[in-house]
Amino acid sequence: MSSVTVIGGGLIGLASALRLADAGHTVTLMDPSPASGATHHAGGMLAPVAEVVYRQEDLFPLMVRSAELYPGLLEVVAKHTDLPTGYRREGTMVVAADRADSAHLSELADYQATHGMAVERLPVRQARALEPALSPQLAGAVLIPGDHQVNPRMFATALLDALHNLGVTVVRERATALPDDEQVVLANGLGAGELYPGLHLRPVYGDILRLGVPDHLQPLLTRVVRGFVEDRPVYLIPRTDNTLAIGATSREDNRPIPRASAVHDLLRDAIRLVPGIEECDFLEATTGARPGTPDDLPYLGRVDEQLIISTGYFRHGILLTALAADATLALVEGRDPGIDLRACHPHRHHKPVSKQGVSS
Ligand SMILES: Cc1cc2nc3c(=O)[nH]c(=O)nc-3n(C[C@H](O)[C@H](O)[C@H](O)COP(=O)(O)OP(=O)(O)OC[C@H]3O[C@@H](n4cnc5c(N)ncnc54)[C@H](O)[C@@H]3O)c2cc1C
């Protein structure tokens, strides 16, 4: 068994620490404020199909594999805590606001079906039978039964409790250098580049709203609804705590606070799909920074005998948590991670000359 320090307590670091501790390794987790990064703001959709992006074929197998691994990860969580994760398996519906959006939706559904993904076109009437709160004015709908969700904040709290119950030491401090006497997993999101130069990470901001659904509207929605409204994407995520998250923005303008216009746009588009949202309580609008990489693939792999890097999960870090934790355990134990990670090698954009020095 190894002694392992995991740097970073977002979902990636927390779940990796859990799998390691569950397997009997001695784990220390370092984070001045666990789950305060992208994890705190994330939607929590586990959506390998709905999130498919054209020409990102290297990402599909990772997303699909991680979705397969999720139930197993949640079983390990449930072994060590009774706290909920907000996991819901009702699936995802994708809807179109107008005829042009409907054409876009059809193209995407064709692409998904060509890649062997389970998608089912629905007449709007049938979509509304499943989700009566949807607007009668919609132009098209597709059901994706295999795309699920967790509540990232709940899940992080459950993971921290599980780590506590497993005896993992959580050091609430910022790492300023890499420990050099044991196995280290560098999983501190956007902060990883400070400790390991050569990683090309950049913040990609996203705004997200949280609404409370009043009792008389319950359940407003039972599954995730994603939509296109005049070509703008929007998603609505109903959670087990009677809240609804609304998001979809993606921007690289270094503004860490939501613009008033972004809040307006998200609400307007969400209300167009689900008019009852007008009646909800407005609880919160926040902005998170996704750890982006130049090719949208994570940095995941071993770079020397002591160091494993696991960051750059960009738009899919909640989904890819199960894969990241599983691969990290395999890498620590010197086993084959069971999936080809060559495209994710942390040195693919720049090989650093030294861990803490300036790279050439
Ligand atoms: C608005 C929004 C919506 C999103 N929706 C989804 C979604 O629906 N589905 C999905 O799959 N993904 C989604 N994502 C992406 C997802 O949130 C990220 O990919 C994921 O949270 C990355 O997790 P992480 O643990 O790598 O990083 P983070 O959650 O950012 O955690 C990094 C941690 O490292 C710590 N840290 C930093 N520096 C140090 C240091 N020097 N020492 C110790 N600790 C340090 C920080 O305190 C932080 O807790 C969304 C992101 C945003 C912003």
What are the pLDDT tens digits along the chain (360 aa)?
899 999 999 999 999 999 999 999 999 999 999 999 999 999 999 988 887 766 677 898 999 999 999 999 999 999 999 999 999 998 999 999 999 999 999 998 988 888 788 899 999 999 999 999 999 999 999 999 988 999 999 999 999 999 999 999 999 999 999 998 789 999 999 999 999 998 999 999 999 999 999 999 999 999 999 999 999 999 999 998 999 999 988 899 989 999 999 999 999 999 999 999 999 999 999 999 999 999 999 999 999 999 999 999 999 999 999 999 999 999 999 999 999 999 999 999 986 655 554 333
Residue 184 · residue 356 · CB < 8 Å: no
> Whole-angstrom Cα distance, residue 49 to residue 63?
9
Q: What angle do CA 328, 171, 206 make, to 5 degrees?
A: 65
Query: For position 55, what pLDDT does the model report?
Result: 67
Query: For position 51, what pLDDT does the model report?
Result: 79
Any ligand 1 atom below 6 A from CB of 203: no
Query: For position 209, what pLDDT does the model report?
Result: 98
Residue 315 · residue 268 · CB < 8 Å: no
Q: What domains sit in the chain, N to C, each tagged with a CATH number?
A: 3-85+150-200+294-344 (3.50.50.60), 92-145+204-292 (3.30.9.10)
Q: Any bridge partners for residue 287, and if so which?
A: 207
Q: Any bridge partners for residue 245, and if so which?
A: 210, 237
Residue with tokens 């994708």: 94
Any ligand 1 atom below 6 A from CB of 85: no
Residue 295 · residue 57 · CB < 8 Å: no
Any ligand 1 atom below 6 A from CB of 48: no
Closest-CA residue to 14 (of 354, 239, 321) = 321
The best mutation among 11, 64, 194 to test binding of ligand 1, ranked by most ligand atoms within 8 Å of the C-beta, falls on: 11
| Greatest C-alpha distance within the chain | 62
What predicted TM-score, i.e. pTM, was given to this entire model?
Answer: 0.95
Query: For position 317, what pLDDT does the model report?
Result: 97
Q: How many other CB atoms sit within 10 Å of the CB of residue 98?
A: 17
Query: For position 357, what pLDDT does the model report?
Result: 42
The best mutation among 172, 290, 296, 309 to test binding of ligand 1, ranked by most ligand atoms within 8 Å of the C-beta, falls on: 290
Strands, E assignment, 52-111: 92-96
SS3 221: coil
Any ligand 1 atom below 6 A from CB of 86: no
Any ligand 1 atom below 6 A from CB of 285: no
Shortest-distance atom of ligand 1 to CA 35: 49
Question: If you take atom 53 of ligand 1, which residue's CA is the nearest one?
Answer: 288
DSSP conformational letter for 51: T
Structure token pair of residue 19: 């799998």
Q: What angle do CA 301, 302, 305 make, to 5 degrees?
A: 175
The best mutation among 30, 39, 196, 266 to test binding of ligand 1, ranked by most ligand atoms within 8 Å of the C-beta, falls on: 39
Any ligand 1 atom below 6 A from CB of 7: yes
> Whole-angstrom Cα distance, residue 157 to residue 14?
10
Residue with tokens 């397969």: 68
Shortest-distance atom of ligand 1 to CA 207: 1
- Within 8 A by CB and 6+ apart from 215, the residues are none
Any ligand 1 atom below 6 A from CB of 193: no
Any ligand 1 atom below 6 A from CB of 52: no
Cα of 153 to ligand 1 centre, how many Å? 11
Length of the chain: 360
Cα of 9 to ligand 1 centre, how many Å? 9
Closest-CA residue to 173 (of 39, 291, 12, 34) = 34
Question: If you take atom 52 of ligand 1, which residue's CA is the nearest one?
Answer: 42
Residue 142 · residue 93 · CB < 8 Å: yes
Cα torsion 121, 126, 128, 130: sign: negative
Structure token pair of residue 106: 């059809």
Any ligand 1 atom below 6 A from CB of 327: no
Distances in Å between the alpha carbon of 275 and those of 136, 217, 279?
Answer: 10, 11, 8
Query: For position 50, what pLDDT does the model report?
Result: 82
Query: For position 359, what pLDDT does the model report?
Result: 36
> Whole-angstrom Cα distance, residue 326 to residue 127?
36
Residue 140 · residue 105 · CB < 8 Å: yes
Any ligand 1 atom below 6 A from CB of 292: no
Strands, E assignment, 101-199: 120-122, 140-144, 148-149, 169-171, 183-186
> Whole-angstrom Cα distance, residue 121 to residue 353?
52
